[in-house]
């Protein structure tokens, strides 16, 4: 019997590997009719996992850690395709230096999201007070319009994943200054986590394992067939092939093809959220993670789209 299940993602451009797996039948082979549901923003989608509106899916680590640390009823069960922090700082054409951002509006997915926390640190390290010298705008439902917002000068900067930077550069509306890890001294956190509602973990543990088994098969396939990863990236984002090549190459250092957690990066994320005051008690790793659900690693892929 096929089971219908929604998989949550925090933006319209999240979950590329999951969407590919649905189209190619990897989830159907596990008896799952999986569909992807978007709820914009980390805190917003965390609330859906807590309530059970969404039983399983992904989100950024900082809002996920914050929510679990505050008692929300879901747990981390695996690492997302984007395990490393693949966020790139995009600057409008009227910005050539960090000081040019003073008095302007810069964007993040939502207030409290991964990009929000990293953006604050990035601005601070480049001499800008994120509370007084710039306005940080949580884009939320406007997130899909980010290139349009640059064109209209509604935002002057944004932390965003690929392919937004590659596409924005190709269309001449912005420039990508590089990934956040190269632009600032920030923790190398586990970025995207896969999570599940606690009741779902208790009542349907084998279904959870089937979801992540199919997800791993999908990402392994994409890593072993780079031409298909590039082609699907171009199709899904509706971008030219050459832009997809640039985007995939930029993202590669941050991708994981096995669904494994970076435990050291996750521990850094927990410590960071405690240091920032987002969680009051510094809990151990197993407070946040439900063990026994990650698929067995098959070995990381390190070269693709050369």
Domains of the chain: 3-84+189-288 (3.40.190.10), 88-183 (3.40.190.10)
pTM: 0.81
Q: Report pLDDT for 303.
A: 52
Cα–Cα dist 290/100, whole Å? 45
Q: Report pLDDT for 299.
A: 60
What three-state secondary structure class fits 127? coil
Cβ atoms 211, 32 nearer than 8 A = yes
Provide the token pair at 160: 């965003």
Q: Report pLDDT for 305.
A: 42
Q: Measuring CA to CA, how many Å separate 245 from each of 12, 39, 66, 68, 115?
A: 20, 28, 35, 37, 24
Contacts of residue 258, defined as CB under 8 A and 6 or more positions apart, other chains included, come to: 216, 219, 220, 295, 297, 298, 299, 300
Cβ atoms 249, 36 nearer than 8 A = no
Cα–Cα dist 304/306, whole Å? 6
**What are the phi and psi torsion angles at 276 (to 5°)?**
-80, -10
Per residue of the chain (306 residues), what is the pLDDT tens digit? 899 999 999 988 899 999 999 999 999 999 999 999 999 888 899 999 999 999 999 999 989 999 999 999 999 999 999 888 899 999 999 999 999 999 999 999 888 877 898 899 999 999 999 999 999 999 988 988 999 999 999 999 999 999 999 999 999 999 999 999 999 998 888 889 999 999 999 999 999 999 999 999 999 999 999 999 999 999 999 999 999 999 999 999 999 888 888 999 999 889 988 987 889 999 999 999 998 887 777 665 545 544
Cβ atoms 181, 254 nearer than 8 A = no
Q: Measuring CA to CA, how many Å separate 192 from each of 9, 88, 120, 174, 210?
A: 10, 15, 19, 25, 19
Kindly report the CA angle at 224 between 218 and 225, in degrees rounded to 5? 90
Cα–Cα dist 226/89, whole Å? 26
Residue written as token pair 């050459």:
242
Cα–Cα dist 198/293, whole Å? 13
């Amino acid at each position: 019997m096929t089971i219908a299940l929604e998989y949550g993602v925090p933006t319209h451009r999240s979950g590329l590997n999951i969407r590919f797996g649905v189209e190619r039948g990897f989830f159907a082979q596990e008896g799952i009719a999986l569909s992807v549901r978007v709820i914009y923003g980390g805190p917003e989608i965390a609330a859906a996992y807590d309530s059970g509106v969404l039983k399983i899916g992904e989100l950024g680590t900082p809002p996920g850690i914050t929510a679990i640390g505050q008692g929300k009823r879901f747990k981390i069960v695996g690492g997302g395709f984007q395990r490393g922090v693949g966020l790139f700082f995009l600057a409008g054409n009227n910005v050539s230096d960090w000081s040019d951002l003073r008095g302007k509006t810069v964007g993040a997915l939502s207030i409290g999201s991964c990009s929000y926390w990293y953006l604050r640190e990035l601005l601070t390290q480049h001499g800008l007070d994120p509370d007084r010298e710039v306005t940080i705008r949580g884009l939320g439902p406007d997130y899909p319009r980010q290139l349009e917002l640059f064109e209209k000068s509604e935002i002057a900067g944004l932390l965003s994943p690929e392919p937004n930077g590659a596409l924005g550069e190709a269309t001449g509306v912005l420039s990508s200054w590089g990934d956040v890890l190269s632009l600032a001294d920030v923790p190398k956190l586990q970025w995207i986590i896969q999570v599940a509602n606690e009741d779902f973990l208790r009542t349907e543990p084998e279904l959870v394992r089937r979801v992540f088994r199919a997800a791993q098969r999908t990402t392994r396939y994409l890593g072993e067939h780079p031409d298909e990863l590039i082609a699907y990236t171009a199709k899904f984002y509706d971008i030219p092939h050459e832009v997809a090549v640039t985007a995939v190459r930029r993202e590669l250092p941050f991708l994981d093809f096995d669904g494994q957690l970076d435990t050291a990066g996750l521990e850094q994320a927990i410590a960071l959220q405690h240091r920032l005051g987002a969680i009051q008690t510094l809990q151990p790793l197993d407070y946040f993670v439900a063990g026994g659900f990650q698929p067995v690693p098959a070995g990381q892929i390190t070269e693709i789209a050369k």
